[in-house]
Amino acid sequence: MDEAVTSNPVIALSGFIAIIALLFLFITKFKWHVFLALLVPIVLFAVLPGINREVFIDAFETGFGDTVGGIAVVIVLGCMIAEALKHTGGAERITMSMVSFVGRRRMPLALTLAGFVIGLAIFSDVGYVVLNPLVHSAAVAAGTNMSVMATGLVVSMQLTHAMVPPTPGPLAAIAVVGADIGRVILFGTIATFIGALASYVYARVVGPFVESPPSEEFIGQSLLEADEESRAKMPSTVWAYAPILIPLLLIAGQSVASLSLPEEHFVNSVMTYLGWPVVALGIGVLLAYRNARAEEHREERTSNWVEEALRVSAMIIVVTGLGGSLSEILQATPTVDQIAQAVAASGVPVIFLPFVLGIIGNMITGSTTVGVIAGASLSAPLMAQTGLSPEAVVLAAAAGSVIIKYMNSSYFWVCTSLSRMPLRSALISYGGGTLVGGVFSMVAVFILWLFGLI
């Protein structure tokens, strides 16, 4: 955006702090719904003196539209898959197969490792939308809560999405500083693996004390104790996994094809379409609905299931859109640049400069991608004087961009809404988990830098 909402950094920073404070107040004190609690402070931001209200309105509408436009249909399709898994027994079959493979006690670790792999290829939001039904059913089956079950998954997907190409953030940062993509992939994988394991440990230690029950739609008699008649009605293991795994493979395949093949290549052209999340998840819906063989399901799958999916996804979409509006408004203020310049002039140890700049970019804009790019871009002029390698800059900025996921992050709201967590529980689980994951990833980056590997 060419024009600024305000050119006064004091007003911008004060307004940002006021938005966060009011959001906490409205939710914790007055028990407002998160939609109103987020909407009212954002709208009141325009009342502050020195705000260009025309630019503010444009930023609000642009941020909301761009965010919703990119994820709304994907969320609805993900909810449709969830409806089908719920009614056809697919979620139960998946849970049973996972428990038999890794054991009840290791389910959170299995999801953490799955998130580590999934985040290498697709947006975290899309991955969590697809896997959310599985997480709820696994939590019920294991007799644990969503904080324990989901935190490692949420954090590990975000870590690899932020630090390991071919996702957009690290690729853009690589281009800015001229880093070697192979080295970033190699050492980024090492750093994020350590961060992911740290987030798993955090979830196991802190999670049991966080109020976060699984959604009521999955709560009932233990799925692992289902009788033979109930199991016979479930889809096979292959067909139960297909609606989840095939969309993920298509989306991942599109990332690989776009990275390794010429733009005009036939395979790249085909995968651009098949790997588009709307098409990939649409295929997932067809596969999930294929499991609806019972007579009572044939009519419901094209009416009641769709209506329920739209109802569930509506709140998620509008809250996510408001998060996009807040990010767009804050990016049209001098807050990010002013704070980043102050940090760069503060004498922070060299390797931590891009790390701190990545934190600031993420916390103010709510975007991991913006955090990575901002940290790398602002650090690039300093590489010659400080001796920092391009790879160290990219990985340090990326580690910082994960800290901390909170209210102005669309990913935070997607995960919070779908996991049905109260805000306080989500801040402890996902905010704390991303803090731990980002810090331990940065520790790994620091050690690699200390030994001259990057």
Alpha-carbon span 436 to 251, nearest angstrom:
28
Task: Encode pLDDT of 227-276 as tens digits.
Answer: 566 666 778 878 877 887 788 778 777 767 877 788 888 888 898 899 88
What pLDDT is attached to residue 196?
92
The per-residue DSSP string of 341-363 comes to HHHHTTT--TTHHHHHHHHHHHH
The per-residue DSSP string of 55-115 comes to HHHHHHHHHHHHHHHHHHHHHHHHHHHHHHHHHHTHHHHHHHHHHHHH-GGGHHHHHHHHH
Q: How many residues in the chain?
A: 454
What pLDDT is attached to residue 46?
92
Alpha-carbon span 380 to 401, nearest angstrom:
16
Alpha-carbon span 68 to 358, nearest angstrom:
25
Give the residue ranges of the chain where pLDDT is below 50.
220-225
What pLDDT is attached to residue 227?
57
